[in-house]
Chains A and B, each alone.
Chain A
Amino acid sequence: MQGWKFLCYRNASGKNQITPSLTALSKTGMMQLRRALEHLSVKPQPSWERPHASSAGNHIYVIRFRDENRTQHRLFGHHDLTGSEFVITLYGFEKDGKYEPSNYITISTTRRSECMANPGKHKCSCLQSSDSLFTTFDHKPQQITGLDARSGKSPSVYGRKR
């Protein structure tokens, strides 16, 4: 199957609302996220179930990963109607069975509507050349791991050409 391409939400001012949170992750958190996205990128939507991901209702899905402190990070977003993209619209946490921010569904649903109405304005690549998340990996932008994994294959993470 063709893999899901992961995109990030940007607001009306053009500011990417997600990437700063991702680049602030610890290395463990970042790599846990990376592998989670690599898995989800090649899984059909029905397989996006707990504990790997979950539906939050209203077409909103939650990507789940942790870091070395067992902090449960969450990425909220939606599958694009084209069937090829997943747009991450909100970064948050889960603690004691509750998501933070508590108004996650309102925010995610609103942002989904914005993306649907004007995708060119509100969807963007998660990784910019200046982001530390980008420089952590030694890839060309189009090869960056699960964040653009249409190929269904994980590229080498060690930067060695084959």
Chain B
Amino acid sequence: MLDPESRQAYMVASVEQDIAWQVRINRERRGWTQAKLAKLIGTRQSAIARIEDPSYGKHSLATLTKVAEVFQCALMLRLVDFDKFTTETADLSEDSLYVEPYEDKNGQ
């Protein structure tokens, strides 16, 4: 079993890296450049580059909420036990990290 410090470090690494990958994959699958995403959420391209950097580690809830809005998806943030966390973050394939825009999914 992982010691508490490693467990915490793994959780942090997962949260930081997963969101970075997910933003990049969802942006690319929409055919958007970093500049276009930046324009849509009212920031600069360099800010998007930071968001997509798994080493950044300083993602703000406000920015991620805006990203979710333009991706037409939800941002889920909740406290869970570690077993649930590992189960729900196990599949890291690009398909699993992609979220179809709500309106496309619902034919609107």
When distances are taken between beta carbons in the complex, the residues of chain B under 8 Å from A157 are 2, 7, 10, 86
Is A159 touching B55 in the complex (CB atoms < 8 A)?
Answer: no
Query: 0/1 per residue, B79-91, Cβ < 8 Å to A?
Result: 0001100110111
Is B10 touching A31 in the complex (CB atoms < 8 A)?
Answer: yes
- Which residues of chain B from 42 to 57 have any CB-CB distance to chain A below 8 Å in the complex? 49, 52-55
> Who on chain B is nearest to A33 by CB?
B13
Query: Is A59 part of the binding interface, using a Cβ–Cβ cutoff of 8 Å?
Result: no
Is B55 touching A72 in the complex (CB atoms < 8 A)?
Answer: yes
Smallest distance from the beta carbon of A75 to chain B beta carbons, Å?
A: 14
**Which of A27, A36, A47 counts the most chain B CB atoms within 10 A?**
A27
Given A39-B21, A158-B2, check contact A31 B90 (CB 8 Å): no
B: contact size bracket: 20 to 34
Query: Is A152 part of the binding interface, using a Cβ–Cβ cutoff of 8 Å?
Result: yes
**Which of B21, B55, B83 counts the most chain A CB atoms within 10 A?**
B55
Q: Report the 3 A-B pairs with minimum CB-CB distance, sorted nearest first.
A: A159-B1, A31-B9, A35-B13
When distances are taken between beta carbons in the complex, the residues of chain B under 8 Å from A156 are 83, 86-87
Query: Is B65 part of the binding interface, using a Cβ–Cβ cutoff of 8 Å?
Result: no
Is A66 touching B90 in the complex (CB atoms < 8 A)?
Answer: no
Given A1-B93, A32-B9, check contact A158 B17 (CB 8 Å): no
B17's partner among A27, A35, A42 (CB-CB below 8 A) is A35
Is A27 touching B6 in the complex (CB atoms < 8 A)?
Answer: yes
Is A42 touching B92 in the complex (CB atoms < 8 A)?
Answer: yes
Smallest distance from the beta carbon of B91 to chain A beta carbons, Å?
A: 6
